[in-house]
Structure 1
Amino acid sequence: MATEQVSERRASHIRGVTVTAVASLGGIAAALVSAMVLGTAAKDQLGLAIVVAFVVLELPIMQGLGIDVGDFSTKDHLYVAFMTFSLWFVTWTILLTNGVTF
């Protein structure tokens, strides 16, 4: 009984870490793609389309890593979207502020 609880807690923890890591890395990758495609023109709405595309692409990646995205609640989907957007926003802001071009 005790080993089952430990196993379930460990699986839940690994699931959470995996979802957070994929969403965070997806946001950073979206910022790099935004910087490559748009350069220093942060006025274009294409940046938001890139973020949405990365949010959509993250779900099959999570499935490939063994996460059952069919069990995701609305809260889980919002969490993934928020983490991706947040990391995209911060990373792209840093790139724009420093004038980084690719």
Structure 2
Amino acid sequence: MATETGEGAADDVSGSQGSAVDTDDESGFSDYERSAIVTMGSTLSGIAAAIVSALYISDPQNNTALAFVAVAIFVQLILYRVIGLEVDDFGIKGNLYITLMTFILWFLSWGIILTTDAF
């Protein structure tokens, strides 16, 4: 009887692990893949916005650089739609994550570029 309990416990563990890798019905991406794509996209968009800001704006007090961040945010939302992510399902938490990650990476990268005089 102890072996039956052990087998049942093993079935419960394998059944709960299967739900973590299921794909989302609408987009075809798993939750992990969607998180990785959004994190990578936000990070790379923020760094790209910093490089563009450094190339076109030399004064750090110029507010035009924020336009590059806004464009980077909107462009990545369009790219997410193109690759098949359901952007409408992100909600306020997902949109804030994308916005803040892009802004923070832009701010840090542009600060490093300006202090090291890389461009």
TM-score, normalisation: structure 2: 0.77
Q: Deviations for 1:6-65, whole angstroms, at most 9, x for unmatched residues?
A: 4327810110010000011000000000001103x1110001111011111110111122
SS in 2 for 1:100: coil
| Alignment match, 2:4 | none
How many matched pairs? 100
Q: Note the aligned Cα RMSD (angstroms).
A: 1.9
Correspondence for 2:50 among 18, 22, 31:
31
SS in 2 for 1:7: coil
Name the amino acid aligned to 1:28.
I
| Alignment match, 2:104 | 86
Alignment of 1:51 onto 2:69: yes
Unpaired runs of 5+ in structure 1?
Answer: none
| Alignment match, 1:22 | 41
Counterparts of 1:50-69 in structure 2 under 5 Å? 50-69=68-87
Shift of 1:4: 5.1
Name the amino acid aligned to 2:78.
P
**Bigger share in helix:** 1
Structure with max Cα Rg: 2
Shift of 1:72: 1.3
TM-score, normalisation: structure 1: 0.89
Alignment of 1:7 onto 2:26: no
Identify the structure with bigger relative contact order (alpha carbons < 8 Å, sequence gap 6+): 1
